[in-house]
Chains A and B, each alone.
Chain A
Amino acid sequence: MSTVTSAADHLVSAHDSAELRKSTKNRKRGRALVFHLCSLALVAIVLYPAVWMLMSSFKPSSQIVGNVSLIPTDASLANFTKALEGIGGVSFWTFFTNSVILAVGSVIGITISCSISAYAFARIEFPGRNVFFALMIGTLLLPFHVVIIPQYIVFNRLGLVDTFVPLLIGKFLAAEAFFVFLMVQFMRNLPRELDEAARIDGAGHVRIFRSIMLPLMKPALVTSSIFAFIWSWNDFFGPLLYLKKPDLYSLPIALRLFVDQTTTSDYGAQMAMAVLALVPVMLFFLIFQRYLVEGVATQGLKG
């Protein structure tokens, strides 16, 4: 009813409406301008620390702290040369390789174990399924503190400290509930007729999972892989606990050692190493930003 009255209110002569349209168009353009100016200003503020880090890595150490300017006056790669030398006889590339092994291992473990477990939750009826599902959701909220001490004790006793096993075993046992949840949600949205048809054709769960589910789950697997990689790449606590030998260090731990060992005034090399440690993450972001942002939007994953 109210729409009718409002339509009546807007009844104007042809001439007036042309004027009106022109002015609304101008107003809309004005508002777009204001929107873009605000947003760009905000982007500049938000990205400033990251750009400052990148630009500082090309500056001499004496010109970093307190230098608001982004453009290096005498740019050089000296900082990177120094960062690539590594620490205490261990080359940067050793740390880099360790990080790659951990990240790729995480991706492989998570995609395999979480997709298999998610299939059970999403597609098979078995007693206790709802209880297990509730427990799985519960582990999403569980502070990790309550498991790390006994885990450390056991891994220590098994002689697995200073190996990658403690850092990777959870990934192969679907202990990262976020990914299981993400894949369950994704599978639940796939049409059930697909597997019912396959069942009638005599296919078992293994075949349905491998030939029907896995190919259809590609978007969920890609999103999971990207996050698994980045989370492993940035992980600090796990490697801090389990990796004591410098030649096993992942990049974040090496970076910390680097900061501890270089004199505080050598900000240039620190910035260069900080940049190098983030390069793969930034590359992933630039290539897969749509997957990442969509993944967050639909599944509520944290960065």
Chain B
Amino acid sequence: MTLTAEAPTTGPSTAAHSAARKRRKRSESLAGYAFLSPWLLGFVLLTAGPMLASLYLAFTNYNLFAPPEWIGVENFQRLAQDPNYLQAWKVTLTYVLLGTPVKLLAALAVAMLLNNAFSGKGFYRSSFYAPSLIGASVSIAIVWKAMFIDNGIVDQVQQFFGFEAGGWVGDPSRTMPMLILLTVWQFGAPMVIFLAGLKQVPTELYEAAAVDGAGPWRKFVKITLPMLSPVIFFNLLLEMIHAFQIFASAFIISNGTGGPARSTLFYTLYLYFRGFQDFQMGYASAMAWILVIVVGALAAVFFKTSKSWVHYSGEGK
């Protein structure tokens, strides 16, 4: 603040010498690259380089010990007929397409509940956020497993209400609901973002709507949802990309197998098995590139369609 006060009010002279200006521009560019260098180096060495390398490997047979052997599109042909690979897509897509919307609905519902004038919201907000910090950890995966195992507490509660008994961990039809519950449990992070978005909605809009006789549902559909659409867009995109990458929870709960009956064989698990247990690195690279293309296409569709359903208010973005 004191520095602003010291700032001279006269601007820099515009009649600077053109050669001097050119020199300054060059030194400015140099400084730019110097400061950018950590990221630039990381980008070239850890992102762009490896991306190109895995693109090449995707067309080869490579097991880490013998040099890569060019085999054209054979990896992709084999993938198309690999039942485990197709299962990995099925499992992953089910998780992404079911888990993400349910999680975001929970996040939005609780954010609506907390978006009021009552005191004590900070406590609730923090409490609901806590699972987001620990939910993907190995510790919680172990806890989840212990809760959903045969005769575990979930089983006990089910039996109490007269439902068919049996654990979820060993039942291929129930491992997916169990993992979706685990991601829904972490609704706190998107909820906090929704809450921040809800605070930005001008209250005059609701007042005007109330005067016009709009009920709570109409207000929600006509005001809250459109005003919140940029935040919904952001949450949906990030949560989906996040969900594609699930690993630790499924790995721990299935004991590093992707089972029972391949019901938790997520994309990342299968890639890990192929690439780092069987050392079929060409095959795994092909898998990785297909995932990049699918996620990229998904993001492109998101951004393309966003114009029709995401509303940016004038002064906002």
Contact = CB atoms under 8 A, between A and B. Distances in A.
Contact of B139 (A121, A127, A277, A285): A277
Contacts of B292: 142-143, 145-146
A20 interface: no
Interface in B33-60: 33-43, 45-47, 49-51, 53-54, 57
Given A120-B32, A145-B291, A153-B281, A197 B8 contact: yes
A88 interface: no
From B7, B116, B144, B272, name the one whose CB has the most chain A CB atoms within 10 angstroms: B7
Given A274-B142, A275-B139, A150 B54 contact: yes
Interface string A260-302: 1000000100110011011001100100010011001110111
A271 B31 contact: no
Interface in A93-142: 112-114, 116-117, 119-121, 124-127, 129, 132, 135-136, 139, 141-142
A164 interface: no
Contacts of B151: 65-66
A80 interface: no
B8 A255 contact: no
Interface in B214-258: 234-235, 237-238, 241-242, 244-245, 247-248, 251-252, 255-256
Given A64-B146, A139-B43, A139-B47, A150 B155 contact: no
Contacts of B29: 125-127
B287 interface: yes
B12 interface: yes
B128 A150 contact: no
Nearest to A264: B149
A169 B47 CA distance: 12
A142 B142 CA distance: 29
B134 A50 contact: yes
A65 B152 CA distance: 5
B71 interface: no
Given A194-B4, A236-B248, A43 B124 contact: yes
9 contacts: A35-B118, A43-B124, A49-B131, A53-B140, A120-B35, A145-B268, A148-B275, A149-B53, A205-B35
Interface of A: 2-3, 6, 32, 35-36, 38-39, 42-43, 46-47, 49-50, 52-53, 56, 64-68, 112-114, 116-117, 119-121, 124-127, 129, 132, 135-136, 139, 141-154, 156, 169-170, 172-175, 180, 191, 193-194, 196-198, 200, 204-205, 209, 212, 230, 234, 236-237, 241, 252, 255-256, 259-260, 267, 270-271, 274-275, 277-278, 281-282, 285, 289, 292-293, 296-298, 300-303
Interface of B: 3-4, 6-8, 12, 28-29, 31-43, 45-47, 49-51, 53-54, 57, 64, 110, 113-114, 116, 118, 120, 124-140, 142-144, 146-147, 149, 151-153, 155-157, 185-186, 188-189, 192-193, 195-196, 208, 211-212, 234-235, 237-238, 241-242, 244-245, 247-248, 251-252, 255-256, 267-268, 271-272, 275-276, 281, 284-285, 287-289, 291-292, 295-296, 299
